[in-house]
Amino acid sequence: MASVPDNAPHECPGTQSEDAGKASACAGCPNQNICASGVPAGPDPAIELIKNRLSNVKHKILVLSGKGGVGKSTVTSLLGHGLAKMNPDINYVTDNLSLMSIGFLLGSPDDAVIWRGPKKNGMIKQFLSEVDWGDLDYLLIDTPPGTSDEHLSLVQYLSAAGVTGAVVVTTPQEVALLDVRKEIQFCRKVGLPVIGVVENMSLFVCPNCKTRSEIFPATTGGAAQMCSTLQAPLLGALPLDPLLARCCDSGRDFLQEIPNSPAVSALQSIVKQIVSTCES
């Protein structure tokens, strides 16, 4: 039978147990069918396949957050634009930026993806092993909130390909930080380096008078205090900017349209730190 991976859930009954692949903790585990079958098996062949597929991708970065609604997907998009702009030979950012999403495979934008764990894990495997990623400097993987089986699957599938690390997104208020602390501990338990933490929506910047206001008060010190306590790098803080949000909604290049925005300045600083960490 397959050996228990290092990143298996703590409740994993073990491959020698009669409950292997059948216990509630096994639901969604990528090894569930192997364990339940009782047939001896080696490592998942997809791991080597993914390693070969991503061999021309220099840096693989997971964008994580234990809390939903902190703007993780938006931050992923912003980082993608910022990293694409780092190439001095590129005049327009979209010439240097690619995207793959399950949304492209749906019949309608209104269709819901109602999948259990095994099918979601299969989609992750398919995206990593069957998409022709080509030659990339950075691959950003936007993940769902939490520390669920999708995260374990990503770490396992990328184990041979060499995942660079994780960028963790939070907002300043304690209700978000509670979950983000768990996310950082998750990264450490599965051996995923934390590149740094981004505090999103840290302030609201009025586009007219430039006055700054706290929408989500950092009553416990925000991301800066959390990073100091957990000894995690703080990459920076992104303010709320309505102009940037409008650019994101309409698909316009905010780096070109609002280059003097405080949010753009903060983003550029964060991107430079990510590049410095990855290239060091």
Same domain, 109 and 189: yes
pLDDT in the model for residue 1: 39
Q: Is the pLDDT reported for residue 280 higher than 60?
A: yes
Average pLDDT, the chain: 86
Q: Can you tell me whether residue 172 is helix, strand or coil?
A: coil
Amino acid in position 161: A
Q: What is the predicted pLDDT for the residue at 92?
A: 82
- Can you give the residue range of the structural domain that contains 229? 46-279
Pair (4, 142) in one structural domain:
no
Out of 15-19, 128-132, 149-153, least confident range: 15-19
Q: Indicate the DSSP class of residue 165.
A: E
Q: For residue 196, is pLDDT > 60?
A: yes
Tell whether 84 and 9 lie within a shared domain. Answer: no
Whole-structure pTM over 0.85, yes or no?
A: no
The CA radius of gyration of the chain, in Å to the nearest whole number, is 20
Give the total number of structural domains in the chain.
2
Give the pLDDT of residue 38.
58
Q: Write down the pLDDT at residue 200.
A: 95
Mean pLDDT value across residues 196-205: 92
How does pLDDT run across 132-190, given as a tens digit for each residue?
Answer: 888 999 999 999 887 778 888 899 999 899 999 999 999 999 999 999 999 999 999 99
Q: Give the Cα separation of 241 and 72 in Å (integer).
A: 16
Q: At what angle do helices 149-157 and 117-130 cross, to 10 degrees?
A: 30
Question: Are 15 and 136 found together in one domain?
Answer: no
Do 153 and 56 fall within a single domain? yes
Phi-psi category of 116—alpha, beta or left, where left has phi over 0 and alpha has psi -120 to 50? beta
What CATH number did the domain enclosing 145 receive? 3.40.50.300
Q: In the predicted model, what is the mean pLDDT of residues 76-80? A: 94
- The verdict on 37 and 89 lying in the same domain is no
